[in-house]
Amino acid sequence: MILVTVTEISKRISSFEMSGHADYAEHGQDLVCAGASAVSFGAVNAVMELTGVEPDIQQATSGFLKVSFPDNLNDKTDEQVQLLVRAMIVSLKTIEQDYEEYIKITFTA
């Protein structure tokens, strides 16, 4: 199962972490894993490309990704980052609705 943990402090998403594998299908054919990966990497790339923000990214080959966003951004840039990250969460929730036994999203403070 893919576990997604979103850390939200004072209505601001400060980081998210993804770990595990969906095991929906064989490696290379797992659409849940591919979808979650595409959504998360696409959102991080959009943050970097569209806002110029460089988040702290930790990644491992075993299906682990942790992305932390700077907390010293100006208000406008932070709003843009938050919008992109929240859009990612909406997409991940859509995957979770259809494949709830393969991906779980939780929120923590």
Q: Which of 2, 4, 33, 84 is catalytic?
A: 33
Q: Is 33 a catalytic residue?
A: yes
Q: Is 27 a catalytic residue?
A: no
N-terminal to C-terminal alpha carbon distance within the chain: 22
Q: Which of 1, 17, 19, 21 is catalytic?
A: 21
Under 8 Å CB-to-CB from 20, ≥6 apart: which residues? Answer: 1, 2, 3, 63
- C-alpha 98/C-alpha 70 separation (Å) is 32
Identity of the amino acid at 13: I
* Closest to 4 measured CA to CA, from 26, 28, 29, 36: 36
Structure-block tokens of residue 106:
């939780």
Active site residues per annotation: 21, 33
